[in-house]
Amino acid sequence: MKNISGIVPVILAAVVGIGAVVSLSDYTAPVYGSESEDELTETETIIESAGMESVEETEVENTEAAVVLDGAFDLADGTYEGSANGFSGKIKVSVVIKNQTIRSINILSNSDDEAFFNRAKEGVTASILAKQSTDVDTVSGATYSSRGIINAVNAGVSVCLCSAELDMGAFDTVSRATTNHGLHRGSYQCTSEITKKDGTKLKVAYYTGAATGVLTNGETFSYDKNEIESYVVTGLKYVPVKVKTEDYEAFKAAYTVVENGSTLSGGFSEGNLKNYTDLVAEVTENTNGLKTVTQNEDGSFSFAARVNNGTDSGIKDAALKTAENITTTVKEANGSYGEFLRVDLTGEGYGALGADMQAAEWTYYGSDSTYTDPLQSYGTKFASDNWMHKAQGIQLGLTDSLRCKLPAGTDGTGYWTITVYALGYNDYTVKFKVTDANIVKDEEETVDTTALEAAIKSAENLTESDYTAASWSDLCVELKEAKDELAAPHTQSTVDEATEHLNVAIKALVKAETKEETKTDVTKLNAVIEKAEALKQSDYTAESWKNLQTALDAAKKLTDATAEQTVVDQAASDLETAILALVKADTENTGTTDKKKKPAVGTVKTVGQIKYKVTGKNTVTVNKYAKKNITKTSIPATVKINGYTFKVTAIADSAFSGCSKLTKVTVGSNVKAIGNKSFYKCTKLTTFTASSTGLNKIGKEAFSGDKKLANITLKTTKLKKSGVGKDAFKNIKKNATFKVPAKKVSDYKAIFKSKGAGKNIKIKKL
């Protein structure tokens, strides 16, 4: 990789908070997503909260502590486990909660340097226990270990796979996103990880289907939602950074890095949102959003503020994009996700921006309509505050949280800007005014679920078979969420939101196509059966009679008019072909004492409708058709001549050329070659079937000019481009359908198109 003035430009992957808005005070130091669980070391360190057993009866002199100690954690009594990344890997903790307070913190495992970790452990855990809050200072010199412990405690007291906003936007490991929507959305520009109940961890790169996708290591995966134990979003996926060359190896050892020329991927194509799977990293000194990395004396790294005026996208062969065709709407006070202020970005252009959205920065100007003097800026992150809907826009919210407190004397009304940072985009800023009607107030409310219950009842009265699978699946997702909300209503806003989503899904249902019931016509089939039953077995060879009986038995099973018309018609056609293929008994010697001489190579003999030419000891070629008015023919696998059995291995050049009444051809299992112009200008030929799995040659112009040829079935897997002659399928029906073995669909499509079949043919698997 080329260095730029001693600087290595790369994209940093799987980092919590890096590249997000710099005013996010709670964003942690980088995580080390590539570390494995096997590298963790077990410890038995337990730090007790001194004197906490009698906290309810004890006067606490520290006023601030007295406030937060009184039920700071709205959790049931019990032990909660959480994990986060420290300096060298995962830190696992267990947190004991009693009477909504933290009673003890147990360090279960870590892989950080012992001296640094012990300093962090003693200082941070004591502070958390004393303050009953994770909003504590880190220990100087052990910053990453400190933040790892803080985040692990946060994770322990907040992990929940539900639709409620429990962390109020204060924690770096976000678990709010639901299994119905969040799994997919979280993989666009965030690092997301699914943990299954069997312990398997899925580090997701992008999704190929609702429950299938590709992992960051390139392997494919699938899952059942019932298998999921937990799901977390742990920060931004791709952050452009530049690192001094002398620090680069240490930086790579500490972080997950995507170098220039490597692939970027993420997301799930759904509605207006599209995934990306083949972007290539190309970070330069002019990349928008670039951060400069500096190594500290203790070996850790610091990150400068992002560059906001870069002109390069960071993506190879892609210019820096500018968001357009976006409408900004300040929503009326709702609070459906716990936010006190919500702004939606909709319009034709939101989908592209939403799929690339990394973070959003809110800046509050109070009453300053000139947008000159900001009072405060806030950063928001995916799932806690930022969300993109497949059809309803980008949904941004500010939550009353540890990192979002309005300035004293303000209430949120006035003038604001939002800046969206997105991969490959210029920073996108919108200005808007907030009124009292847009601010959610803290007040008691009575939740009315009447409308939600009615919507659920309407959905449950619908019949799945009446609608398309895709639209029914969308309804099921919204119905489940609606039922979950009804079972445990959070607020009137969340109830209304669930009601709206369910009603939208009901309205969006697409009716399934209904087939008109038509009675199958078996008149022609019965007529052919009657014709076949009038024939005498003694008049024909044993093999040809056997083929007739097989076709006759199949036809008789379809006379009750319950089968589809196409199946009945095909059976009638097959039976007619078997009748035409009957071989008269007098064309062979059926005796045992006066067997005729075996035909020599080169001998041409007529059997039924076809002339055969002996080509070897036990092989013949179809040489020519024997009757000019032939309409259907079945070329057998073997044929008897003078009492000797020969394999039919080929169809000669021009064998059926110009046979203007021929409509259907069936070829036996031993034919390996079809000659040049063998079916040239058979202008009424519509159907050709070759059952041979060893067919490896189709000659030049073999089917050229067969303008009605619409159905071709080939069971062979042996055809190669070199084995199919020029213009073999030229001027057949433009939308002809080829049925071929499943594993050859792609190869044969390319071959047949190159041999004259045209761009509109259809290739289907047998």
Q: Is the pLDDT of residue 160 over 50?
A: no
Per DSSP, the three-state class of 67 is: helix
Confidence of residue 43 (pLDDT cuts 50, 70, 90): very low
In angstroms, what CA-CA distances link 85 with 143, 260, 296?
12, 26, 19
| DSSP assignments along 699-729, one per residue | -TTSSTT-TT--EEEE--S---GGGB-TTTT
Residue 24: pLDDT band by 50, 70, 90 thresholds?
very low
Calpha distance 633→655 (Å, rounded) = 12
Q: Which two tokens stand for residue 286?
A: 């002019």
Residue showing tokens 């990349």: 287
How many Cα atoms sit within 13 Å of 372 on the Cβ side? 3
* Cross-strand bridge partners of residue 79: 96
How far is Cα 672 from Cα 714, in angstroms, rounded to an integer? 12
pLDDT tens-digit map of 227-285: 887 777 777 888 888 888 888 888 888 888 888 898 999 988 888 889 999 899 999 98
Whole-prediction pTM:
0.48
Q: What is the pLDDT of residue 45?
A: 29
Residue found under tokens 């020329």: 261
- Distance set, CA 128 to CA 77, 152, 484, 526 (Å): 18, 12, 34, 88
| CB 694, CB 668: distance < 8 Å | no
Cα torsion 750, 756, 762, 766: sign: negative
Q: Does the pLDDT at position 89 exceed 80?
A: no
DSSP 53: G
Q: What SS3 state is found at 41?
A: strand
pLDDT at 755 over 90: yes
Residues above pLDDT 70, as percent of the chain: 82
Q: Residue 59 — pLDDT band, cuts 50, 70, 90?
A: very low
Question: 15 pLDDT band (50/70/90 cuts)?
Answer: very low
Average of per-residue pLDDT across 578-590: 67
- Distance, in Å, from the CA atom of 582 to the CA atom of 589, rounded to the nearest integer, reads 16
pLDDT by residue (tens digit) across 201-221?
999 999 888 888 899 888 999
Using the predicted structure, report yes or no on whether residue 6 has a pLDDT greater than 60: no
pLDDT mean over 159-175: 39
The stretch 320-335 carries a mean pLDDT of 92
Confidence of residue 713 (pLDDT cuts 50, 70, 90): very high
- CA 480 to centroid of chain Cα atoms: 21
Residue pair 704/731 in contact (Cβ under 8 Å)? The answer is yes
Spatial CA neighbour of 610 closest among 637, 630, 593: 630
Please enumerate in sequence order all residues whose Cβ is within 8 A of that of 459, keeping only pairs 6 or more positions apart, or say none: 475, 478, 479, 482, 502, 505, 506
Name the residue among 457, 463, 477 with its Cα closest to residue 511.
463
Q: What pLDDT, on the 0 to 100 scale, is given for residue 30?
A: 25
Distance CA 196, CA 347 (A): 37
42 pLDDT exceeds 60? no
Nearest to 307 by CA among 240, 374, 229, 251: 240
Give me the pLDDT at residue 178, please.
Answer: 55
Round to the nearest angstrom and report the end-to-end CA distance of the chain. 48
Taking the CB of residue 310, how many other CB atoms lie within 10 A of it?
20
Please write the tens of the pLDDT for every residue from 641-659. Answer: 888 889 999 999 999 998 9
The closest of 174, 154, 149 to 231, measured between CA atoms, is 174
Token reading at 122: 């003693």
> Do the beta carbons of residue 232 and residue 193 sit within 8 Å?
yes
Say which DSSP state 512 is in: P
pLDDT for the residue numbered 253? 86
More confident residue, 41 or 382: 382
pLDDT of residue 181: 60
- Residue 765 to residue 755: CA distance in whole angstroms: 20
Beta bridge partners of 319: 312
Q: Specify the pLDDT at position 443.
A: 66
Q: Which residues contact 636 (CB under 8 A, 6 or more apart)?
A: 543, 544, 547, 581, 648, 668
User: How is residue 483 written in tokens?
Assistant: 């039922």
Q: What is the pLDDT of residues 546-582, one digit of tens each?
A: 888 888 888 888 877 677 887 888 888 888 888 887 8
For residues 634 and 618, give the distance between their C-alpha atoms in angstroms, rounded to a whole number.
20
CB 697 within 8 A of CB 673: yes
Q: Are 439 and 413 in contact (CB under 8 A)?
A: yes
List CB contacts of 653: < 8 A, sequence separation 6 or more: 675, 676, 677, 678, 699
Q: What is the pLDDT of residue 66?
A: 24
What single string gives the DSSP state of each residue in 183-239? HHHTTTTEEEEEEETTS-EEEEEEEEETTEEEETTS-EEE--GGGEEEEEEEEEEEE
pLDDT 10s digits, 500-537: 889 988 998 999 876 555 678 888 888 989 898 888 88
Q: Write down the residue that tokens 């796979």 correspond to.
A: 161
pLDDT at 29: 25
Q: Where are the alpha helices (DSSP H) in 492-592?
A: 492-507, 523-533, 542-556, 565-580
SS3 content of the chain, % helix, strand, coil (to 5): 25, 30, 45
| pLDDT score, position 683 | 92
pLDDT digits (tens, 9 = 90+) for 668-700: 889 999 999 999 999 999 999 998 999 999 999
The structure tokens listed for 172 are 């770096």
Q: Which range (67-76, 296-305, 353-362, 607-616) has the least confidence?
A: 67-76
Render pLDDT for 171-197 as a digit per residue (tens, 0 to 9).
333 434 455 566 777 788 888 888 888
pLDDT at residue 363 is higher than 70 = yes
> What is residue 765's predicted lDDT score, i.e. its pLDDT?
87
Output the pLDDT for position 517. 57
pLDDT tens string 724-754: 999 999 999 999 999 999 889 888 998 999 9
Distance, in Å, from the CA atom of 602 to the CA atom of 200, rounded to the nearest integer, reads 69
| Alpha carbon distance 405, 135 (integer Å) | 14
Radius of gyration from C-alpha coordinates of the chain: 37
Of residues 401 and 273, more confidently modeled: 273
- 5 contacts: CB under 8 Å, gap ≥ 6: 285
Token digits for 317? 């062969």
Strands in 282-413 per DSSP E: 291-295, 301-303, 327-330, 339-346, 357-366, 376-380, 386-389, 393-399
